[in-house]
Chains A and B, each alone.
Chain A
Amino acid sequence: MSVDTAPEMSPDLEATEAVETGGLGQAILHRTLLTVGPIVIALVIAGLILVTVGVDPLAYYGYVIQRGLLSPTGIQQTLTRMAPMLFLAAGLIVAFRAGIWNLGVDGQFLLGAVTSAAAAPLLAMVMPAWLAVVIAFVMCTIVAMAWSLVPALLKAYHGVNEIITTLMMTFLGISLANVLVKLVFLDPGTTVPQTRTLPVEDRLPRLFDTTISSGLILGLIAVIAVHLMMTRTSFGLKLRVVGANPRAAVHAGLGVPWLTIGVFALSAGLAGLAGAVDVLGVQGNVRADWNPAYGLAVIPMVFLARLNGFASIAFVLLLSVLSIGGESAARRIGVPNHFTLVLIAIVLIVLAIVEYVDHRYLSARRA
């Protein structure tokens, strides 16, 4: 069974519709409303939930913004946190535009993280740090790609629904990562179960005088590169054809099975790189039972951005602010950062509803 991406959110249709209905200015206003609207509505609904558990929503949101965006340390942490999320966004855009629901990103992330955490400290002992990091990146990409192979083959040659297979691989991946951390790559030098730590001086360099990891730059490059590839190259167009109309892809002679495997590999590889960027840039190691689960949280952001690379950057920033601010709020106000997950989920659902309402209203207007 092949599943199209949310049909209401076709990026190509939006682009052409924008120019046709009433000029560019009105199109931009319309698009802004459709994007900001769901966020605002979600904030309100989530705020109501806060009220029911006895927390002042305005105080909470204010604290989150203050801590995540406005304070100097906070904004640096936010920008650093963006790095893995940008890679994840890139991976999700590739998959979704090609009509593939790669929900295995969290598993691919963790395995990429573990691979780089295991490899880098050992490599750094025998070669210059920069080379160790590069090789670690390559290794983690290969591991993450391999992790997507089974779902890719099942989908490409037997049409097995990839939602289920990738989800299962995520659960499997989380457990496998734990096994690897606790049993195989355990650091003998500490009592806390974790992998060997990569010394700070060997990690990804910081930007200028800040604490922002240069992973941010890599992430931006990844997202922009993916965007340009999808919109300007023949390979990207082939992927989009497969995503928009798989039967037309067969009719046009595109090698759909190979393209499918390619999409999985690309998407998984980017997710794995997200894990590596986080470990090699910030964490330095992987602790047991560590699973930040950024992957699924990025999904609504990517939809908000209508699968556009540049817009994704803005929404990933938003998510990062919420994430950093939320963690801080968990310590200070006592609202666990599970709340961020709730907020993100509400955004996703409200976005779908708003799109529907707009679709009904817009098509009625065109009559």
Chain B
Amino acid sequence: MTGLFSDVFLSALLFGAVTAAVPLLLAGLGEQMSEKAGVLNIGIEGMMIAGAYFGFLAAFSFESLWLGFAGGAAAGAVVSLVMVLLCVRLGLNQIVIGIGLTLGLEGLTALLHHVQFSRTYPRLPAADIASIPLLADIPIVGPAFFQHNPVVYLAVLLVPVMVFIYRRTQLGLNLQAAGDKPAALDIAGVDVVRTRTVAVLTTGALAGLGGAYLANVGAGIFVPFITNGAGFLGIVLAMLARGRPLWVLFGALLFGVSLSLTTALQVAGINIPTDVIQMIPFLAVMIMLVIFGRQSSLPAALGIPYERGAR
């Protein structure tokens, strides 16, 4: 029986933290882009679970993890398309549609899974790991951070990509204008609806990818409601990160640690009931919101559909 702060425990904890953080990171980055552009995407949980199920289905049916990831991203994007059509184009209430999408997809994926897999509950083989040479040999930190499925590295690389987009491209300016003062963007000759569409579709794809990772790599299996609030945690991350992709990464790692405590503690031989452990991430969220909530700055036009020349 090894104790707390042993190498094995720390390694397991950090490894688990990264694995748990990736879906949160992807969801958070995606939601951040939507919110920057002025769309409050409550349906992100639905996009994640759609990505989880269809990603699992694709990986299982085609026996390819990469097709699984692609399928998950595509599924998430398709769901976000509904949001684009109804909320960005027609201007329906973003919260009502978001709740509808989340509930509907949670039910639909559970239904489909039951019909297809409830007797067999198939598992996926363990995901391939890509070790980064040299770095993977560092004690404790090596196996924890540098022996992951390639998607993990992709997700982390996404952070500087987002920073680049926001700070150094016209697209970044367009997104910020769409969220802060869409009328000004319209007058400058840029299509506000198209800008927001890009943002929401990206969110859907990233969330779907995150869900696919959760099912295919994190768990190796799909069970109904597997995301268990990961999408909403992504919204929290986006809210607290105040427009900075790097902070989404830190927040995701933080929550990842709290999520991975269960397995890590079991490895360390300490037995705290699962339900207590499960409270920790949400407790952490509430504490963060209490401390930092009032400073979460959200774009001015968030949640308000854009109508040109509205009377």
Direct contact of A and B (CB under 8 A): yes
What does the 1/0 interface line of A320-335 toward B look like (CB < 8 Å)? 0000000000000001
Q: Could you tell me if A167 and B232 are in contact, using CB atoms closer than 8 angstroms?
A: yes
Min C-beta distance of B218 to chain A, whole Å: 18
B104, B108, B236 — which one has the most chain A CB atoms within 10 A of its CB? B104
Q: Does B228 contact A (CB under 8 A)?
A: yes
Q: Which of B96, B110, B276, B294 contacts A6 (CB 8 A)?
A: B96
Min C-beta distance of A150 to chain B, whole Å: 6
Q: Could you tell me if B282 and A172 are in contact, using CB atoms closer than 8 angstroms?
A: yes
Q: Does B289 contact A (CB under 8 A)?
A: yes
Q: Could you tell me if B103 and A171 are in contact, using CB atoms closer than 8 angstroms?
A: no
Known contacts being A159-B294, A167-B232, A338-B111, is A154 close to B289, with CB within 8 Å? yes
Known contacts being A183-B273, A299-B99, A356-B92, is A338 close to B279, with CB within 8 Å? no
Q: How many interface residues does A have (CB within 8 Å)? A: 50
Q: Does B293 contact A (CB under 8 A)?
A: yes
A54 partner residues in chain B, CB cutoff 8 A: 115
Kindly state the separation between the CA atoms of A346 and B97 in the bound complex, as whole angstroms.
10
B303 partner residues in chain A, CB cutoff 8 A: 1, 3
Q: Does A339 contact B (CB under 8 A)?
A: yes
Interface residues of B in 277-295 (CB under 8 A from A): 278-279, 282-283, 285-286, 289-290, 293-294
B289 partner residues in chain A, CB cutoff 8 A: 154, 160, 164-165, 168
Kindly state the separation between the CA atoms of A160 and B229 in the bound complex, as whole angstroms.
19
B232 partner residues in chain A, CB cutoff 8 A: 164, 167-168, 171
Q: Does A348 contact B (CB under 8 A)?
A: yes
Interface residues of A in 239-289 (CB under 8 A from B): none
Interface residues of A in 159-192 (CB under 8 A from B): 159-161, 163-165, 167-169, 171-172, 175-176, 178-179, 182-183
Q: Does A87 contact B (CB under 8 A)?
A: no
Q: Could you tell me if B275 and A342 are in contact, using CB atoms closer than 8 angstroms?
A: no
Contacts across chains A and B counted by CB atoms under 8 Å: 143
B285 partner residues in chain A, CB cutoff 8 A: 168
Kindly state the separation between the CA atoms of A130 and B289 in the bound complex, as whole angstroms.
41
- Nearest chain B residue, comparing its CB with the CB of A360: B90
B82 partner residues in chain A, CB cutoff 8 A: 349
Kindly state the separation between the CA atoms of A7 and B95 in the bound complex, as whole angstroms.
11
Q: Could you tell me if A168 and B95 are in contact, using CB atoms closer than 8 angstroms?
A: no
B283 partner residues in chain A, CB cutoff 8 A: 172
Interface residues of B in 199-256 (CB under 8 A from A): 224, 228-229, 232, 235-236, 239
Kindly state the separation between the CA atoms of A53 and B110 in the bound complex, as whole angstroms.
12
Min C-beta distance of A347 to chain B, whole Å: 8
Q: Which of A150, A340, A342 contacts B286 (CB 8 A)?
A: A150
Q: Could you tell me if B290 and A348 are in contact, using CB atoms closer than 8 angstroms?
A: no
Q: Could you tell me if B100 and A348 are in contact, using CB atoms closer than 8 angstroms?
A: yes
Interface residues of A in 21-57 (CB under 8 A from B): 49, 53-54
- Nearest chain B residue, comparing its CB with the CB of A341: B107
Q: Does B8 contact A (CB under 8 A)?
A: no
Min C-beta distance of A348 to chain B, whole Å: 4
Q: How large is the interface on B (under 10, 10 to 19, 20 to 34, 35 or more residues)?
A: 35 or more
Min C-beta distance of A217 to chain B, whole Å: 30
Q: Could you tell me if A338 and B290 are in contact, using CB atoms closer than 8 angstroms?
A: no
Q: Does A296 contact B (CB under 8 A)?
A: yes
Kindly state the separation between the CA atoms of A341 and B224 in the bound complex, as whole angstroms.
13
Interface residues of A in 295-343 (CB under 8 A from B): 296-297, 299-300, 303, 335-336, 338-342
Q: Does B112 contact A (CB under 8 A)?
A: yes
Q: Could you tell me if B111 and A53 are in contact, using CB atoms closer than 8 angstroms?
A: yes
Q: Could you tell me if A339 and B93 are in contact, using CB atoms closer than 8 angstroms?
A: no
A340 partner residues in chain B, CB cutoff 8 A: 107
Kindly state the separation between the CA atoms of A161 and B282 in the bound complex, as whole angstroms.
16
Kindly state the separation between the CA atoms of A8 and B302 in the bound complex, as whole angstroms.
18
List chain B positions with a Cβ less than 8 A from chain A.
Answer: 42, 82, 86, 90-93, 95-97, 99-108, 110-112, 114-115, 224, 228-229, 232, 235-236, 239, 273, 275-276, 278-279, 282-283, 285-286, 289-290, 293-294, 296, 298, 302-303
Query: Closest 3 CB pairs between A and B?
Result: A345-B104, A341-B107, A158-B294
- Using A163-B95, A345-B102 as known contacts, list a sample of 8 further A-B pairs with CB atoms less than 8 Å apart, ordered by residue number in A: A8-B93, A154-B289, A175-B278, A178-B275, A303-B96, A338-B110, A341-B103, A342-B103
Interface pairs (7), CB distance under 8 Å: A6-B93, A168-B285, A182-B273, A300-B100, A340-B107, A352-B92, A356-B91
